[in-house]
Amino acid sequence: MLALFAVTHDFTRYLDDCKFILVSNREPYEHIRRSGGTVHIKQPAGGLVTALDPTMRRTHGTWVAWGSGTADRDTADEAGRLMVPPGEECYSLRRVWLDDADVNGYYHGFANRALWPLCHMLIQHFEFRTEFWERYRAVNLRFAHAVADEAERCSGRSMAWIQDYHFGLAAEFLRAIRPSMFIHQFWHIPFPPPDILRLLPSGSHEALLRGLLGNDLVEFQIDRYAQNFLECIERFVPDASVDRVEGRVSFRDRDVQVGAFPISIDVERFEAMASTPDAIARVETLRARYVRDGRQLGVCVDRVDYTKGIPERLRALSTLWTEVPSLRERFTFIFVCTPSRTDLPAYHALEQEVVQAVMDINRRFGTDGWTPIVLINENVDSDLLASVYRAADLCIVSSLQDGMNLVAKEFIACQLEERGVLLLSRFTGSAEEIDGALLINPFNVDGFMGAIRTALDMPVEERRRRMRRMRQQLHNSTIFDWLDSILARSSEIMDAQRGERVVA
Ligand code: ADQ
């Protein structure tokens, strides 16, 4: 797998002699102390680590991240450095230490209680505290110093690639320390229009935008978010000049490029996980259990988050079984919902609401031989997920807003029989990329319910036609294509900058 990846995507050619420094909130390897005192290593399951770890191994770069594991300090040197992956030692991990007040203010506070709801335009959850903002600034500055430190350790050029909304100010801080460094940033979630961004108090919304303008290139999932960002700059940063068509901002004698780079998944990995003998056996078991006598199986997979439209999905299902009783016992739903951010009251309350709503539905419509919704309220291994995706006849993604949504792509990758229908919220980045899903508006109860009926009734041929089209598209835009296009664009800009400096 790694060998194939290396042949088809050689990212090192874009980096030339440039040292690659990646910055993210979560680290790729976390050391955890177990109750008996032994230390074990945890690697987050997310797509980002899966995609970036091989790149880091090949480029021998440095990954800068929050040292969040309970045994992290014991396994790093005084500066927070260690070589990873354990036993292979291919690249450096530089851990940044945060205390409880930092985590509460920067991470739970400003990132997750202010920016997350604002960017998703769910302003009823928006909460701003000065303490959150100050911690966010302080932690962003600390990360900028850590990156500058790492750049200092190499003699040549370096490139910093910052991930996400946790670091809205880091690029500007880093630019002040190392003016000629190439800095770029991928923003994984939506970017809101000006009227929403200005709910951040005066001073902080302008500061966030100026912070992002510290980059040479700002990458969004889709063009709509890039356009929102440019509109915010036009409105709130009067000393910047914006070229909306070219996606460029001129600011303090520098040009900042802005573009859309839709993220994806490691398609072959998901296909492989859905094709193992164990997966095939699980698919058979699931179908024997839930898909007999013309019944169908639905699936959804989310973190419990108010952006994902989970109560709206439950409401559509409940309305459907109420208004169309003939559909009772006709399909079963596997609801995979992992609790997340449970330290925040809104998430805790949502989790309870979801569990309660599922119990109500099962009590109301269930029969002796049929449970309408099978709730799996925990984290599930990706190979088990792959089997569930493969076994399903339909998958519902009903986010109220979502930067991209990778579940939709994972479902498509695992649909090897091409029998499944994807119901996809039109408010996801994926909906603007994928052609072949049934688009839904999760706020429109009747429309949502109608789309489930359409999916259940869809003839096999049409299902196959749509799924085949989506699978072809997905094969042409994997996570490696995403990485390739970002690094290619970065290297192009770096070359142009070098040309300009030589001429000057
Ligand atoms: P998320 O909001 O986390 O990511 P998403 O893109 O759907 O959303 O990715 C979730 C990932 O977690 C998927 O890989 C999924 O399989 C996994 N997952 C979810 N529930 C799980 C469970 N119960 N058990 C196991 N795995 C589970 C943010 C943005 C998105 C954007 C991504 C990547 O909010 O819009 O697509 O980053 O940029």
- For ligand 1, atom 3, the nearest C-alpha belongs to 303
Tell which one of 303, 306, 342 to mutate to probe ligand 1, the residue whose CB is within 8 A of the most ligand atoms.
303
- For ligand 1, atom 4, the nearest C-alpha belongs to 405
Ligand 1 atom with minimal separation from the 428 CA = 35
Q: In 10 A of CB 380, how many CB atoms?
A: 17
What is the pLDDT, as a whole number, of residue 343? 86
**Which residues lie below 8 Å from residue 339, measured CB to CB, with a gap of 6+?**
303, 304, 347, 351, 377, 378
Higher pLDDT, 14 or 109: 109
> What is the percent of the chain where pLDDT is above 90?
87
Digit-coded pLDDT (tens) for 207-250: 999 999 999 999 999 999 999 999 999 999 999 999 999 999 99
Digit-coded pLDDT (tens) for 168-210: 999 999 999 999 999 999 999 999 999 999 999 999 999 999 9
Higher pLDDT, 98 or 294: 98
Q: Minimal CA–CA distance to 415: which of 394, 438, 446?
A: 394
What is the pLDDT, as a whole number, of residue 5? 47
Written as one string, the DSSP assignment of 166-233 is GGTTHHHHHHHHSTTSEEEEE--S----HHHHTTSPTTHHHHHHHHHTTSSEEEESSHHHHHHHHHHH
Q: Specify whether the CB–CB gap between 421 and 393 falls below 8 A.
A: yes
What is the pLDDT, as a whole number, of residue 2? 39
CA of 430 to the centre of ligand 1 (A): 12
Flag whether pLDDT at 426 surpasses 80. yes
Flag whether pLDDT at 311 surpasses 60. yes
Confidence of residue 48 (pLDDT cuts 50, 70, 90): confident
Angle at which helices 406-414 and 267-275 cross, to 10°: 50
- For ligand 1, atom 37, the nearest C-alpha belongs to 188
Question: What's the mean pLDDT when you consider all of the chain?
Answer: 94
Q: Minimal CA–CA distance to 168: which of 124, 118, 121?
A: 118
Q: Specify whether the CB–CB gap between 412 and 277 falls below 8 A.
A: no
What is the pLDDT, as a whole number, of residue 504? 58
- CB of 310 within 6 A of ligand 1: the answer is no
- CB of 47 within 6 A of ligand 1: the answer is yes
What is the pLDDT, as a whole number, of residue 291? 94
CA of 46 to the centre of ligand 1 (A): 7
Digit-coded pLDDT (tens) for 317-337: 999 999 999 999 999 999 999
Flag whether pLDDT at 370 surpasses 80. yes
Digit-coded pLDDT (tens) for 114-173: 999 999 999 999 999 999 999 999 999 999 999 999 999 988 899 999 999 999 999 999
Structure tokens at 436: 């072949």
What is the pLDDT, as a whole number, of residue 45? 66
- CB of 407 within 6 A of ligand 1: the answer is yes
Confidence of residue 16 (pLDDT cuts 50, 70, 90): confident
Is this prediction's pTM over 0.85?
A: yes
Confidence of residue 400 (pLDDT cuts 50, 70, 90): very high
- CA Rg value for the chain: 23
- CB of 403 within 6 A of ligand 1: the answer is yes
Flag whether pLDDT at 4 surpasses 90. no
Digit-coded pLDDT (tens) for 33-47: 998 889 999 987 666
Q: Minimal CA–CA distance to 315: which of 207, 443, 223?
A: 443
Flag whether pLDDT at 364 surpasses 60. yes
As a whole number of angstroms, the distance between CA 368 and CA 108 comes to: 44
Q: Minimal CA–CA distance to 336: which of 286, 267, 265?
A: 286
What is the pLDDT, as a whole number, of residue 386? 97
CA of 303 to the centre of ligand 1 (A): 7
- CB of 420 within 6 A of ligand 1: the answer is no
Ligand 1 atom with minimal separation from the 336 CA = 23
As a whole number of angstroms, the distance between CA 377 and CA 354 comes to: 10
